[in-house]
A and B are shown apart, each in its own frame.
Chain A
Amino acid sequence: MIWKTLKVGFHRLGSPPTFYRVSALISPWLWGGFALCTLIGLYYALYVVPPDYQQSDSYRILFIHVPAAWQAMAGYIVMAILAVIALVWRIRTTEIMAMMCAPIGAAFTLICLATGSLWGRPMWGTWWAWDARLTSMLVLLFIYLGIMGLYAAFEDRRKGARVACILVLVGVVNIPIIHFSVEWWTTLHQGATIRFFGESTMHYSMMPPLVWMTIAVKLMFGAVLLDRSRNELLDQDRRKGWVRQKVGEET
Chain B
Amino acid sequence: MIPQFEYAFYVWTSYAIFAFVIGWQIVQPVVRRRRILAELREELALETGAYNDPDS
Contacts and interface: CB of A to CB of B under 8 A. Distances in A.
Interface string B23-35: 0111011101100
A228 B40 CA distance: 17
A89 to B, nearest CB: 26
B10 A231 contact: no
Contact of A115 (B14, B40, B43): B14
A231 B3 CA distance: 41
A199 interface: no
B41 A251 contact: yes
Contacts of A121: 10
Specify the main secondary structure of chain B where it touches its partner: helix
A48 to B, nearest CB: 10
A207 interface: no
A107 B23 CA distance: 11
A224 B26 contact: yes
A110 B15 CA distance: 13
Interface residues of A, number: 34
A111 B17 contact: yes
A80 interface: no
Listed residue (B7, B18, B32, B37) with the most chain A CB atoms within 10 angstroms of its CB: B18
B44 interface: yes
Contact of B5 (A46, A114, A122, A220): A46
A-B CB proximity, top 5 nearest: A227-B29, A115-B14, A61-B14, A64-B18, A247-B40
27 contacts: A61-B11, A68-B18, A107-B22, A107-B25, A111-B21, A115-B14, A115-B17, A115-B18, A119-B10, A121-B10, A122-B8, A220-B25, A227-B29, A227-B30, A228-B29, A228-B32, A231-B29, A231-B36, A234-B33, A234-B37, A234-B40, A235-B36, A238-B40, A238-B43, A244-B44, A247-B37, A251-B41
Given A230-B33, A238-B40, 7 more contacts: A58-B8, A114-B14, A121-B10, A227-B33, A228-B32, A231-B36, A238-B36
